[in-house]
Amino acid sequence: MIYLDNAATTWPKPQNVVASVEEALVRKGGNAGRGGHGVAMQMARLIHQTREDLCVLFGTDDPTRVIFTQNATHALNQALFGLLHPGDHVITSSLEHNAVARPLYALRQRGVEVSEVPGVPGEEFNLVAYRKAFRPNTKLVVTLHASNVTGALLPIREIGQVAQEHKVLYLLDAAQTAGVFPIDLGRVPVDLLAFPGHKGLLGPQGTGGLMIKSEIGLEPLIYGGTGSLSEDERQPDFLPDALESGTLNGVGIAGLGAGVRYILSEGVDRIRVREQALCRKLWEGLKEIPGVKLYGSELVERRAPIVAFNIGEIDSVALSFALEEKTGIIARAGLHCAAHAHRMLGTLEQGVVRFSPSHFTTDEAIETALLAVKTVANELA
């Protein structure tokens, strides 16, 4: 088996991630914030250490403003429903994953106004149209950093600067870039950062978070026990407690922290360069196969480590199934929970096949995948 679906979940994980999960299960199984006994305190320290590690990675210095969530979708919902109210206006892109598109649809039904900045392949975000989209009641801009379909990177610095000019908050979905591209919240104009733990950060599934810059308040998405102020029926109003009701996934957070420390030791730039080199090899090889259509920029430096393609009119799911069945190549096909992006690409019916290597992927694996695509393409044709 050759695994090329790292944009969905990275696998394999670094060995220190596996070891940290085991260590937490075996020796640190207490419930953080629920008691002053030793094992509870051990888990609390472990969780706080992961907050600090994430601050180092993302260029912030206040671990209390790192909110742990189940995943990036949970983080995005917390930000969107915690900020927006009837009468507010929000600006978004035409590439968004359903993790943004569906909450915005629900909020629209409640009276929130939504504007979608148009895009076309090669110009996925029209900055001129974006500047014209602001209204007196605009409260938030929300975009992804990179498309999970083609890997196309949005100009987040420019997007954030324009938002700042209008005194509007910017929420960034870093699902495809956290851990692979440098994101320094001390330098880029992003106010809230949503990230998954199980993709580029190399942690387990069921982990993620929301980074919130100072002076931004959110209404909780979930109310309940926090381990603090238990005598009061009101939800605590301080972070992280205000937004972290219920037992945290301490074991998963242990693995997430280990993944972040692995990235810090390897270096984000080194990881990115390696993954982009593999994507370049994929792109160059695929474009030589008759009938292959590639999507996104040929310049891998302008993309997250994702290569999307089709072969003729062959259904993408059928092609992906054939690759796994006949050659053991694991890819992702279909619409990738991102109908807006496929509508823009004109692939809403066919979908696309997506290859996404990690820096653990070998050059030999890429060569085998290219040969497999060529073989299956000839058979299906």
- Written as one string, the DSSP assignment of 199-217 is STT---TT-EEEEE-TT--
* Measured CA angle at 218 (ends 74, 228), to 5 deg: 85
| 29: its two tokens | 């199984």
Q: Is 304 helix (H, G, I), strand (E, B) or coil?
A: coil
pLDDT at 27: 87
Which of 59, 79, 332, 95 has the alpha carbon at shortest distance from 208? 79
pLDDT at 301: 84
Say if CB 138 and CB 90 are below 8 A apart: yes
Say if CB 330 and CB 5 are below 8 A apart: yes
Q: What is the pTM of this model?
A: 0.96
Q: pLDDT tens digits, the chain, 381 residues: what are they?
A: 999 999 999 999 999 999 999 999 998 878 887 777 778 888 889 999 999 999 999 999 999 999 999 999 999 999 999 999 999 999 999 999 999 999 999 999 999 999 999 999 989 999 999 999 999 999 999 999 999 999 999 999 999 999 999 999 999 999 999 999 999 999 999 999 999 999 999 999 999 999 999 989 999 999 999 988 888 899 999 999 999 999 999 999 999 999 999 999 999 999 999 999 999 999 999 999 999 999 998 888 889 999 999 999 999 999 999 999 999 999 999 999 999 999 999 999 999 999 999 999 999 999 999 999 999 988 887
**Rounded Cα distance, 59 and 78, in Å:** 22
**Phi, psi dihedrals of residue 39, rounded to the nearest 5°:** -70, -30
**Rounded Cα distance, 34 and 227, in Å:** 5
pLDDT at 195: 98
Q: Is 174 helix (H, G, I), strand (E, B) or coil?
A: coil
pLDDT at 30: 81
Residues 6+ apart with CB under 8 A from 2: 328, 329, 330, 361, 365, 368, 369
pLDDT at 249: 96
**Rounded Cα distance, 186 and 62, in Å:** 12
Which residues are paired to 194 by β-bridges? 173, 210
The alpha carbons of the chain give a radius of gyration, in whole angstroms, of: 21
Say if CB 77 and CB 85 are below 8 A apart: no
Question: Residue 309: in which H helix or E strand, if any?
Answer: strand 307-311
The fold adopted by the segment(s) 267-380 is Aspartate Aminotransferase, domain 1 (3.90.1150)
| Mode of pairing for the β-strands spanning 329-330 and 307-311 | unpaired
Ranges of each domain in the chain: 15-266, 267-380
pLDDT at 229: 84
Chain-centroid distance of CA 355 in Å reads 16
The fold adopted by the segment(s) 15-266 is Aspartate Aminotransferase; domain 2 (3.40.640)
| 48: its two tokens | 């706080």
